[in-house]
Amino acid sequence: MVNYFPNSSITHGMTEDQFRLFAIQMVSKMGFQFSAMLIALLTIMLGSGTISTEMETGLIQGVLSRPIRRYEYVLGKFFGLVLIACAYATILFVLILVIGAVFGLSTFTSLNFSQIFMGWILYLLLPIAILCLTVFGSVSMKAVPNGILMIFIYILGNVGGMVEMIGQFLNRNSIIGTGIFISLISPFQTIYNTMERVIVPNSQIAGNVMSGASMSGSGEPASVWMFVYIGLYMVGFLFLAIHRFSKKDIS
């Protein structure tokens, strides 16, 4: 059974109880990781053409000739998508917890309300942050190029986490700096990693295995300042989307 895992040397010498804990942590982490990736891609699909497609088809003309301001239109679109993405994310989040509870996975049964709530908030923050950037992209370019660029930026975030981890492993500040810089461009992986630390704590061994399987980076925990930056990142891109759209000709 050990051979099913990416790096069997990690599980070598474990007792049955230790291995069970390890397996539970792996399943929990993978559940969240894949669902988060699914939500990210769904959010990009939802948001990449939200404004540009309406501009291309002319649908927007009938709406913007009504007594609504440009910022109201952008915010209306944004919050509408936030509601859809958050509803979807919440369903997935709850399903993962329910499945974990049904199968008696200790990672879930040991969670308290505060952990679940915090994890849920961070889980929702991921699609919201992606939407801020995607809506800005939708004001600036057509749906397909925007979608491709957003997927690229999202994957870049994963790469950033890995680069940072490699830097820590090699103890090279320049590589760590590069990883952090990439995380500043694409902070989505940072949000996910923080969520994972909240909802699947004490999973250092499983975390290392996941990193080895190229699923994510697992560097140091993000600082409060990183979350301040993420907040500014989100508000900034939303503001830029409004600013750009307010000056755009609907022709």
Question: Taking contact as CB under 8 A, which single stretch among the options 26-34, 67-75, 218-226, 232-240 is the one that binds other proteins?
Answer: 67-75
Q: Which C-beta is closer to other proteins: that of 12 or that of 247?
A: 247
Residue 188 and residue 243 in contact, taking contact as beta carbons nearer than 8 Å: no
Site for other proteins in 219-248 (CB under 8 A): 247
Question: Whose Cβ is closer to other proteins: residue 12's or residue 66's?
Answer: 66
Q: What's the min distance (Å) between Cβ of 41 and other proteins?
A: 23
- The SS3 of residue 221 is coil
Collapse the DSSP code of 170 into the 3-class scheme (helix H, G, I; strand E, B; otherwise coil) and give the result. helix
Among 65, 112, 114, 171, binds other proteins (CB under 8 A): 65
Angle, CA of 189, 192 and 194, to the nearest 5°? 110
| Nearest residue (CB) to other proteins, 222 versus 242 | 242
Yes or no: say if 203 and 1 are a contact pair by the CB < 8 Å rule: no
CB of 201 to other proteins, least distance (A): 44
Q: Of 4-12, 52-60, 78-86, 98-106, which part binds other proteins (CB under 8 A)?
A: 52-60
Q: Which stretch binds other proteins (CB under 8 A): 66-74, 94-102, 125-133, 187-195?
A: 66-74
In one-letter notation, the amino acid at residue 154 is Y
Minimum CB separation from other proteins for residue 51, in Å?
14
Residue with smaller CB distance to other proteins, 91 or 250: 250
Per CB under 8 A, does 66 bind other proteins?
yes
Reported for 71-75, long-range contacts at CB under 8 A and 24+ positions apart, including other chains, are: 71/242, 71/245, 71/246, 73/245, 74/135, 74/139, 74/238, 74/241, 74/242, 74/245, 75/238, 75/242
Instruction: Check residue 172 and give left, alpha or beta (phi > 0: left; psi -120 to 50: alpha).
Output: beta
Contact 125, 191 (CB under 8 A): yes
Task: Please report whether residue 83 would count as binding other proteins according to CB under 8 A.
Answer: no
Where does this chain bind other proteins (CB under 8 A)? 57-59, 61-69, 247, 249-251
